[in-house]
Amino acid sequence: MHVEVSTFLPFFSWLRQYGRRYLKADIVAGLTVAVVAVPQSMAYALIAGLPVQYGLYASIVPTIAGALWGSSAHLITGPTTAVSLVVFSTLLPMAEPNSGAYLALAFILAIMVGIIQIAMGAARLGALLNYVSHSVILGFTAGAAVLIGFKQIPGLLGLSVEKSHIFLEYLVRILAKLPEVHPPTFLLGGMTIAVIVLTQRFRPKWPGTLIAMIVAAFLVFIFNLDERGVRTVGAIPRSLPPFHFPWIPESTRVGELAFGAMAIAILGLMEAVSIAKAISGQTHQRLNINQEFIGQGLSNIAAGFFSGYPGSGSFTRSAVNFRSGAKTPMSAVISAVAVAATLLLIAPLAALLPLASLAGVLMVVAYTMVRKEDIKRTIRATRSDAAVLVITFASTLLLNIEFAIYVGVLLSIMLHLAKTSHPRIYSTVPDLETGKMVGSVRGKTCCQMDIIRIEGSIFFGSSAFVLEDLQRRLRQRPLTANILLRMHQVNVLDASGVHLLEIILEQVRDRGGGLFFSGVNGRVFEVIKNAGLLREAGEQHIRSATGSAIRQAMRENFCPAVCAACEESVFSECPELKNGNWEIFGEGVRPRICVLPTP
């Protein structure tokens, strides 16, 4: 069996066609991304409870792996705010931030996340993300933004506050420490925020974050602020990401990490895929979501072995990459190389960088994470969307953050099942002027046959609802002996659906009638055939056109006595049938022998 090299090395498909015409654009985009990535990665490491260099490490080898094995031409993989927050929440109960055990757990966590994501990609579970509501992402991101913003207050004000992953507890600790504000630290943090905001407004193309951090470091150097109580990042090792074979601290059980690893895997994939889809919607690039799962998984495994921590697709860096004119994933590789070069060249200068500036950067990031217009639109859209958003937001603030992810995902799935388990079911009749099928007006339906349109799937989740609806109709209409199901909008039928149709078939046969179908698509027809329902109901009872199915039911099962006594004229054939003329269906056709049933 021939196996394509691109199956295992997907980057071969675009690397074979790579030419000089792409190189210049990718270099410009890659260097631009690196300018954004350096300060962001350092700041995000603080959210995760790690020294800043580990954020830079997570933007080198993992970024390259994500670009080469992913499917998006513009997605930049590395540290992100939301994932960093979940990493901190997962590891804080197990080890002290910045400790050796904490670092080891971060590496192990990244590998576990990667394995889960690769397994999901190999199992081709990419379509599952379609069942996660966009409201979940909005609610979780907004909640994470609030958490991140409040967690930066101590660094911004120069306070020493004991860390906690419980929002209300941490807020109380901050309030208790407010009288101890350190003015120089607060001024540096405020200056950083002001420079970033003003640059974004008046010079949006300038690297405002980098400028703010350089200015802050310069002020520390000029006024010796590090000797006056302003805390700085400290010396960063001038080295490439060191290789680590992760070890598990003796006091830790892998099972304790599994809950958080699964949450990070799901969140990371939601982030990465939503960003990739947003950009591909403008570039018209065709994405392979399952391949993107594998790319994200390999990126996280690379993070675990090369001194990084779990990451995902970065919205900011990916957007910068796209706007800067990147043509291929080579731009991400170039950005990673540029981050590595920066680490080697200017690492000693980071010792002057005040922590208050990084806190200011994160404050701005947290503010931009709250997508106010999208939230307003979602709340106005439907009650279910609003409920998912609000509950996910509240769960993020009040519960363990990894548990909030599960709450949002489960809510999405439950709402999806609630909608699909209640397909729209209503009676239809032909419009005698146009011949088109329309909803029955004022309950006008045929005495002998109910023509029912089903819009939705008939599967295990909806079978009870559909069965109850059809049986209710039969109870209310004791003379109805035939049911015609219009299944133009039924795309899924499973064994549970077939079973309920068998029950209805038995009930209408007890009345001397039958079960008929129209508009059955090929996939549903195969289920009906394979389950034996086609043989039981009769091959002539399944028609492509509704009109043909109606005439088949009339010819086989209509009772002349019922037609003669019926006060309605639903079909164009009704006047002839009331007069006993059955030859409208063909010469020599006679009605079946029956008597008017007792209601």
Q: What would the DSSP string read from start to end of 121-172?
A: HHTT-GGGGGGS-HHHHHHHHHHHHHHHHHHTHHHHHT------S-HHHHHH
Q: Are strands 449-455 and 437-439 parallel, antiparallel or unpaired?
A: unpaired
Integer Cα distance of 315 and 127 in angstroms? 21
Helices 383-398 & 401-420 angle (0-180, nearest 10): 160
Q: In the structure encoding, which two tokens stand for residue 253, read together?
A: 């059980």
Integer Cα distance of 576 and 120 in angstroms? 62
Looking at the chain, the whole-number percentage of residues with pLDDT higher than 70 is: 96
Q: Is residue 93 predicted with pLDDT exceeding 90?
A: no
Please report the pLDDT score of residue 2 as a whole number: 46
Helix (H) or strand (E) holding 390: helix 383-398
Please report the pLDDT score of residue 599 as a whole number: 52
Please report the pLDDT score of residue 105 as a whole number: 93
Q: What is the mean pLDDT of residues 7-27?
A: 85
Please report the pLDDT score of residue 5 as a whole number: 59
Name the nearest CA neighbour of 187 among 208, 209, 158, 213. Answer: 158
Q: In the structure encoding, which two tokens stand for residue 45, read together?
A: 């490491």
The answer to whether 300 and 155 are in contact (CB under 8 A) is no
Residue 276 three-state SS: helix
Q: Is residue 1 predicted with pLDDT exceeding 50?
A: no
The answer to whether 70 and 296 are in contact (CB under 8 A) is yes
The answer to whether 35 and 45 are in contact (CB under 8 A) is no
Average pLDDT over the chain, rounded to an integer: 89
Q: Distance between the two ends of the chain, CA-based, in angstroms? A: 67
Higher model confidence: residue 494 or residue 593? 494
Q: What is the mean pLDDT of residues 117-133?
A: 86
Q: What is the mean pLDDT of residues 147-161?
A: 90
Please report the pLDDT score of residue 7 as a whole number: 63
Q: Is residue 559 predicted with pLDDT exceeding 80?
A: yes
- Which residues pair with residue 353 across a beta bridge? none
* Ordered structural domains, the chain, with CATH: 5-9+27-416 (no CATH), 424-585 (3.30.750.24)
**In the block, residue with structure tokens 């790579």:** 18
Q: In the structure encoding, which two tokens stand for residue 170, read together?
A: 């941490």
Name the nearest CA neighbour of 316 among 409, 200, 405, 397. Answer: 200
pLDDT in tens, 567-577: 888 888 888 88
What pTM, to 2 d.p., does this model score? 0.79
pLDDT in tens, 297-331: 999 999 999 999 999 999 889 999 998 899 999 99
Distances (CA, A) of 154 to 158, 350, 352, 365: 6, 20, 19, 16
- Helices and strands in the chain: count of H runs, count of E runs: 27, 8
Query: DSSP secondary structure string, 200-241?
Result: HHH-TTS-HHHHHHHHHHHHHHHHTGGGGT--B------SSP
- Per-residue confidence at 135, pLDDT binned at 50, 70, 90? confident
Integer Cα distance of 175 and 134 in angstroms? 34
Q: What is the mean pLDDT of residues 53-62?
A: 96
pLDDT in tens, 522-541: 999 999 999 999 999 999 99
Q: What is the 3-state secondary structure (H, E, C) of 165-198?
A: CCHHHHHHHHHHHHHHCCHHHHHHHHHHHHHHHH
**In the block, residue with structure tokens 């006047």:** 575
